[in-house]
Amino acid sequence: MNSIPVGSTLIPTGDLPPYQTIQRVLTWNGDGYWLIPLPFDGKRRYARGPKFQAAERLQAWLDQGLLRIGDFEVPELWKNTDEDLNRWFGGTPENPCKILRVRNLAYDAIQPFIEQASTFEALSTGSYAAWIRKAAQTGPHKEAFLYDALHRLWAGGQKNALLGRTASNGGRGVDKPQNTKLGRRNAIDKAADRASTGYPLSEIDKLKLECGWQCFLTDGRTTEAAYLETMGHFYADPEHKSEDGNKVKLLDANSKPTRRQYRYWGPSKDPSQSATRRMLGEHEYQLNHSGMHGASAEDVLVIGQRGWSDSSGGDVKLRSVISSSIELGCATVLPVMDAKSEVICGMYIGLEPPSAQVQLQAAAHAALPKAEWGEKFGIPGITEDQVPSVRFDKLTLDNGEGRNGETIRVYLGAWEGWIEYAPAANGRAKGPIEGEHHVRHVEVDQNLPGATHPPYGAPRRPTLAVLTYPQYVRHHIRRILYHNCEQPVPHLITGEMRAELDVTATRMDVFRWLVKHGYVNGKPPDADTIRVHMLPSFAATITDHGIYLHRPDRGAKKEFVERCRFMGTHLREAGLLNAARRRVIPAEISLDPNDLRVAWFRTRDHGLQKLENIHPDRWIVERCTLQEVLLIQDRDQLTLLRNEAHAQQTAFDRIAERDALADAAIETARAETACNPPPQAQPEPTNRAEARRAEGEILDKSGLSASPVPSASSCQRSPQAVPEASPIAAQASSRPKQSYDHGEVDDDVMAAIHQFQNGDNHEAKS
C-alpha cells in the first residue's frame, strides 16, 4: 500500500534515526520506495544518488517515531525566473549570468536521457548507468559530472535545481591564501620606479590584525591610533632597543601590513565588529545608530496579546517611615504595559532587586484590581477605566532579570501564558517600555527631593533621603493616571477609530474602543488563581495566637517577623489554633511583600483563605514593606545588643536595692519585737478543723475565750493577772522553756499554745 506520498520528504527524528539527512521520495514500484538524500547545497562536490528501501521497513520506522513525513521546501533562489537572475547577477538574455550558464550546461548534458526515459523506468531498470557510461565515452563530460547533474535534477524536481555549482571554486567560508600583494604600487615604489612585492598576509598576520582590532580599537580611540598600537605590538624591530627600553622602532612599510589591510582583516568580516560600532559601544550604537526595521508591535492585533515588562532602578533615595536617619536606598520600579494600547496595567515598586519573583509580582499586579492598592497609598477610587486589569498571552521580559524555568512554569500555571525574553543588549526588542523608563525619570524622579540623577545642567550635590516609600509610590500612581487617562496619543489613532475618536484621545480612550469592538483576548482569571500561582510563598508557623511569618533571609532557621501576626476565621473554625497548643504546625502563606495587611493561606478543602494582620501596631503595618520591617527589626536587635550591658547593670542595681530595703525592714522589725518575738513557723496541721476545736477547748479551759488575751509586751506580769492554769498548762510549765532569738518568755498559756501548735496535744485528746 502506497502510504507515503511521492515527492514528500522523510525527516529523521529520535535519538537513533536510520538516516542522518532528509530523504526525498522519488517513486514507488509496488513493494518499496526509491529515496534520494538531501540537501545538495554545494557543500559536497557531487550530489548523492538514490537508494531503494522496502515499504515495510519504512512503515515500521514511521510507527516507531524514527522518521516523520514532511513537505519538500523549494529554495527561494529556485523560484525566480531567468530574467530576475540575470538582473541580479549581471546577465542578459544573450549573455546569461554565470549561474545560469552552469545550469544550462548541466541540463543540456542530461537532456537526451531524461526525454527518452521517465524516473520510474530509469530507477527500475537501471538504464541510466549504461547511458551515462556511454555518454562519457563519446561526449565532453565525465561520468561524475553527469551523475551529479542527474541526481540534482531528480532530487530538486526542476531545472533550477542545477543552479550554481560552487563547490569546485574553493572551500566554502575559507579565505584564499594571499601569496602576492594585490592592487597598485604604493607611493614609495612608484617614486623609485620599482615593482614592489608588497607584504602578503599569512594566516598568522590575519590573526594578529584581528587581535589588534579587538584589543586596541575601543571607546575614545581612533582607527589610526589602534593601527599604530597594533604595529608597535606585533611588528616592531626586535634588534632595535632603546636605552630606557620603552621606545620601539616599527618595521619598514614593506614588512608590515598597511592601514587598508588592517581595516579589512581586523573586523574579520563581522559586521558587529565595525569601527563605528566598537568606538561607540554596543549600547550607544543600538540606541542611536542602528537601522530600524519594522515596528515593535506590528504583529499585535488585540489587547492582552503581548505585554512589555522591564525593571529600572528608581533615582530617588528613600528613608524609613519611623526615622529620617534610616536610609532604605533606591526602589526597584517595574511597570507592565500593554503592547496594543500602551496602557500601563500594573507596576511593581519595592525594595527587592530585580528577579524572576519580582517579575511575577508585577504580572500579578497587572491582572488584579487596583482599588485597594490606591487606597493604601492615599489615592482612593481607582477604577478599571483608569488602570485596567489585563491578562497577557505573552509577556516580554528582560534577558537577565527573570530568565529561569521556574518563572515560565508559574506563569503557565496561572493562565496558560508564555514568557518571551528580549535579546541581550537590544533595548528596542522590548518595545516602548525602555522609553517609558526615561520619561518616568524625567517627569517624576528627577523632580523629587533625594534624586540621585538631577536634571541636565543642575549642580550635583550630595542628596539626603527625604521621601518615604508610601510617598514615593503616591507620586508614581499619579503619573500612571496621567499616562493612561490624560495624555493625548494621536499616534495610536487609526483610521478605523477616527469615526469615534479624535487626536485628543487618551490611551484609555483607545483601550475602551478596542474592548468595545472585540479587540481583546479575554478577561483575567479569578483573583485566587493569580494569588496562588504568582504571589511569593513564605514559610510560617501556626500557633494558638495565629500564624507567624518566618524571616525569609534566615534560611532554615525559624525566626518570626515582628508585626506579622495573621488571623482568619478559617483558623478558628478548623480548630488549628487549639491543635497548635499541643504541637507545632508548619504552614505556608502567600503574601505581597509590599502589603503586609493581608496574607493568603492555602487549604486542601476550602481553597484560598484570606488572613488579616492583627498586630496592634497598625501604623507600621499599613505603611511599611516587608524589607523595611526586617530592617527595623534588625536595627532594634542591634540596639538591644549594644544596650545589653546597661540593661544588666540596671537589673542588678534593682535587685541589690530591693535586697537592701528588705534587710533594713527585717532589722527594724527585730528591734521593735525584741521583747516579744513572733513564734517560730511550724508545719501546718493536717486536719485544721480538729486543730481549731482543740484550740478552742484549751482557750475555754484557760478562761481566754471570753476575755481579751493578756498583752505580752512586758517581760514582767503581776500574779493577779494570771488565771488558773489548766492541767495541760501545768504540765507545760514543768517542761523546759523555749528560747527565742530575742530572749525567753515565761508564760504558761503561751507555752501550752506552742505545745499545741507543735502537735504535742495527746493529753488534751485523752
Question: What would the pLDDT profile of 425-484 be if each residue is shown by its tens digit?
Answer: 565 667 788 888 888 888 888 888 888 877 666 666 667 888 999 999 999 999 999 999
Hey, is 468 helix, strand or coil? strand
CATH number at residue 336: 3.30.420
| Domain-located, residue 293 | no
Per-residue pLDDT, averaged over 207-218, amounts to 88
Domain boundary among 174, 199, 218: 174
Per-residue pLDDT, averaged over 244-262, amounts to 81
pLDDT at 144 over 80: yes
Domain identity same for 232 and 272: yes
CA dihedral 437, 443, 446, 448 (to 10 degrees): -120
The answer to whether 514 and 303 have CB atoms below 8 angstroms apart is: yes
| Domain-located, residue 254 | yes
Residue 236 has φ and ψ, to the nearest 5°, of -100, 150
Least confident of 28-32, 60-64, 746-750: 746-750
**Can you give the pLDDT at residue 424?**
64
Structural domain boundaries enclosing 748: 688-765
**Can you give the pLDDT at residue 276?**
78
Higher pLDDT, 756 or 73: 73
Confidence of residue 1 (pLDDT cuts 50, 70, 90): low
**Can you give the pLDDT at residue 178?**
57
**Can you give the pLDDT at residue 741?**
44
Domain identity same for 272 and 317: no
pLDDT digits (tens, 9 = 90+) for 169-192: 444 445 555 555 555 556 666 665
| Domain-located, residue 683 | no
Q: Provide the sign of the torsion angle of the four alpha carbons 445, 447, 450, 452, taken in this order.
A: positive
pLDDT digits (tens, 9 = 90+) for 385-422: 999 998 888 888 876 666 666 777 777 667 677 777 77
Closest to 453 measured CA to CA, from 563, 345, 315? 315
The maximal CA–CA distance of the chain, rounded, in angstroms, is 172
| Distances, alpha carbon 124 to alpha carbons 32, 75, 77, 418, 761, in Å | 11, 29, 32, 52, 136
pLDDT at 759 over 70: no
pLDDT at 277 over 80: no
Per-residue pLDDT, averaged over 567-578, amounts to 90
| Domain-located, residue 546 | yes
Confidence of residue 240 (pLDDT cuts 50, 70, 90): confident
| Domain-located, residue 528 | no
Residues 6+ apart with CB under 8 A from 94: none
- The DSSP code sequence of 429-455 is GGTTHHHHHHHHHHHTGGGSTTBSSPP
> What is the C-alpha separation between 48 and 426, in angstroms, rounded?
43
Domain identity same for 473 and 554: no
Least confident of 188-192, 314-318, 365-369, 644-648: 188-192
* Mean pLDDT value across the chain: 80
> What is the C-alpha separation between 298 and 431, in angstroms, rounded?
11
In the chain, count H helices and then E strands: 28, 20
pLDDT digits (tens, 9 = 90+) for 332-351: 899 999 989 999 999 999 88
Cell digits of residue 514? 478596542
Domain boundary among 459, 484, 516: 516
pLDDT at 717 over 50: no
pLDDT at 303 over 60: yes
pLDDT at 733 over 50: no
Hey, is 645 helix, strand or coil? helix
Confidence of residue 740 (pLDDT cuts 50, 70, 90): very low
Cell digits of residue 566? 495573621
% the chain with pLDDT above 90 = 17
**Can you give the pLDDT at residue 326?**
84
Domain identity same for 266 and 413: no
**Can you give the pLDDT at residue 512?**
93
Any idea what the Cα angle at residue 538 is, between residues 537 and 539, rounded to 5°? 130
**Can you give the pLDDT at residue 561?**
93
Can you give the pTM of this predicted structure?
Answer: 0.52
| Domain-located, residue 662 | no
Domain identity same for 253 and 390: no
Domain identity same for 327 and 259: no
pLDDT at 543 over 70: yes
pLDDT digits (tens, 9 = 90+) for 651-675: 999 999 999 999 999 988 888 777 5
pLDDT at 499 over 50: yes
**Can you give the pLDDT at residue 682?**
53
> What is the C-alpha separation between 59 and 459, in angstroms, rounded?
78
Higher pLDDT, 573 or 245: 573
Number of domains within the chain: 5
Domain identity same for 696 and 726: yes
pLDDT digits (tens, 9 = 90+) for 151-170: 888 888 888 888 865 434 44
Give the 3-state DSSP-derived string for 582-632, with helices as H, strands as E and coil as C.
CCCEEEEEECCCCCCCEEEEECCCCCEEEEEECCCCHHHHHHCCHHHHHHH
Domain identity same for 251 and 386: no
Residue 346 has φ and ψ, to the nearest 5°, of -170, 165
Higher pLDDT, 745 or 703: 703
pLDDT at 601 over 70: yes
The answer to whether 339 and 520 have CB atoms below 8 angstroms apart is: no
pLDDT at 315 over 80: yes
Place of cell 487618551: 506
Per-residue pLDDT, averaged over 267-286, amounts to 74
**Can you give the pLDDT at residue 756?**
61
**Can you give the pLDDT at residue 449?**
86
| Domain-located, residue 292 | no
| Domain-located, residue 181 | no
Domain identity same for 384 and 249: no
The answer to whether 54 and 32 have CB atoms below 8 angstroms apart is: yes
Domain identity same for 225 and 135: no
**Can you give the pLDDT at residue 172?**
46
pLDDT at 92 over 50: yes
Hey, is 563 helix, strand or coil? strand
pLDDT at 611 over 80: yes
> What is the C-alpha separation between 135 and 144, in angstroms, rounded?
11
Domain identity same for 333 and 420: yes
Domain identity same for 229 and 322: no
Domain boundary among 107, 139, 174: 174
